[in-house]
């Protein structure tokens, strides 16, 4: 019996307006939704009440990093991640598979799991599907992700072959089965999502979907995109995969991306997104606006008295000038990172609100065309 209730409230072509009810916590998330990334149990530079004030409904935290620091025993003493970080809305936890994939020193991959050296202190660690499920049980995240191997786009500077992609996908499917078995064994009352793998090959993606559906999950994620592949390949798979997934369950595209990428994915039936882009770019002084992206460090903004975006209603845009934010960026003041983060996350969260309204009003195609055209104009 699933602890999630997903309803599709309206459609505009393939774009879907929906809601996810988390039965255990009686919390509702409206979709399409963007999840800010709070890797270590916090979204960098921004407080939980600020996240809530800009309309954040759900965040992502990371199993791998929280396992290393502060350790699951510490989180467990707080009765889970919600109480540890004082966030009373839903949390999704990534299983750690992508983090293992991204470690240069990692990767002794076996059928049992992955052995690697800690990036913090070098100690030898071993992560398995069962261990990932146990960690996420103590984190008490509302959505648990299966442990998988993120298939790279290239191997030894060559596009990964279909045989290597098949081996990787099949290993992920066996790990998905083990993840589900362990999830059930420990009687986790939250929700578990499967992850579709298969590299750039439609036939493998379809096979992965069939295997995941046979196991049975509360929702389905698309992994292995935004890993260095050309944009055309990502779009090709986004046109292919969603239609193969169950229509009555949430669809989650992992780690993507730009506003334009998110809109394209929504137009193909995706419901959930996460990406570090708005927060990481904010700290580096790259700001999203309705007229394109703005590099606040550029000297042209030294005496610019306009807000970042004169159509934006975030706290930063209401109060501060580009000139002041330029000054904070040039002097590396942490307040600058905070104000930039508030703006970028507001931009993403507000974009999703507008998308939901446009789907409800059967105007998503028109809205998205106008939004993308306006962003191509350039900063005013």
Residues making up the binding site for Zn(2+):
312, 314, 317, 343
Of 172, 152, 168, which is closest to residue 160 (Cα–Cα)? 152
Tell me how far apart the alpha carbons of residues 105 and 92 are, in angstroms, rounded to a whole number: 27
Rounded to whole angstroms, the Cα distance separating 90 from 92 reads 7
Q: In which element (H, E) is residue 207 found?
A: helix 202-215
Distance, CA of 346 to CA of 290 (rounded, Å)? 12
Is residue 94 among the annotated active site residues? yes
Q: Angle at CA 220, nearest 5°, toward 148 and 202?
A: 75
Phi, psi of 159 (to 5 degrees): -55, 130
Annotated binding-site residue numbers: 94-98, 148, 197, 224, 312, 314, 317, 343
Beta partners for residue 294, in sequence order:
287
168 contact partners, CB below 8 Å, separation of at least 6: 149, 151, 160, 197, 199
d(CA 357, CA 337): 30
Nearest CA to 324 out of 313, 312, 338 is that of: 338
Query: Which listed residue (94, 261, 271, 309) is catalytic?
Result: 94
Q: How many CB atoms lie within 10 A of CB 189?
A: 10
Catalytic-role residue among 218, 261, 271, 274 = 274
Annotated binding site for substrate: 94-98, 148, 197, 224
DSSP notation for 124-139: EEEE-HHHHHHHHHHH
* DSSP β-ladder status, 292-295 and 286-289: antiparallel
Instruction: Give the catalytic positions in this structure.
Output: 94, 274
């Amino acid at each position: 019996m699933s602890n999630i209730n997903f309803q599709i409230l309206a459609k505009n072509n393939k774009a879907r307006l929906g809601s996810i009810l988390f039965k255990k916590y009686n919390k509702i998330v409206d979709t399409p939704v963007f999840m800010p990334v709070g890797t270590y149990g916090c979204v960098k530079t921004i407080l939980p009440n600020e996240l809530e004030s800009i309309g954040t409904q759900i965040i992502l935290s990371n199993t791998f990093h929280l396992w290393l620091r502060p350790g699951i025993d510490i989180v467990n003493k707080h009765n889970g991640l919600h109480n540890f970080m004082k966030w009373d809305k839903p949390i999704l936890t990534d299983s750690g598979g992508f983090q293992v994939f991204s470690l240069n020193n990692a990767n002794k991959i076996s059928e049992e799991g992955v052995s690697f050296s800690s990036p913090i202190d070098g100690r030898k660690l071993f992560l398995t599907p069962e261990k990932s499920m146990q960690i996420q049980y103590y984190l008490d995240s509302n959505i648990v992700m299966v442990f998988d191997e993120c298939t790279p786009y290239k191997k030894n500077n060559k596009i990964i072959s279909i045989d290597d992609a098949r081996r990787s996908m099949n290993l992920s499917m066996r790990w998905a089965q083990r993840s589900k078995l362990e999830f059930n064994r420990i009687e986790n009352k939250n929700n578990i999502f499967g992850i579709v793998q298969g590299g750039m090959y439609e036939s493998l993606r379809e096979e992965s979907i069939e295997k995941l559906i046979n196991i049975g999950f509360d929702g389905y994620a698309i992994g292995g995109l935004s890993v260095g592949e050309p944009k055309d390949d990502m779009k090709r798979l986004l046109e292919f995969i969603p239609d193969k997934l169950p229509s009555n369950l949430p669809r989650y595209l992992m780690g993507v991306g730009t506003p334009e990428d998110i809109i394209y994915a929504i137009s193909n039936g995706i419901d959930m997104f996460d990406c570090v882009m708005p927060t990481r770019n904010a700290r580096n002084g790259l700001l999203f606006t309705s007229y394109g992206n703005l590099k606040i460090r550029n000297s042209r903004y030294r005496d610019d008295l306009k807000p970042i975006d004169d159509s934006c209603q975030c706290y930063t845009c209401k109060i501060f000038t580009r000139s002041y934010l330029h000054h904070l960026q040039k002097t590396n003041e942490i307040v600058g990172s905070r104000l930039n983060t508030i703006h970028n996350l507001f931009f993403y969260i507000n974009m999703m609100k507008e998308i939901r309204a446009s789907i409800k009003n059967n105007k998503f195609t028109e809205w998205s065309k106008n939004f993308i055209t306006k962003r191509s104009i350039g900063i005013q």
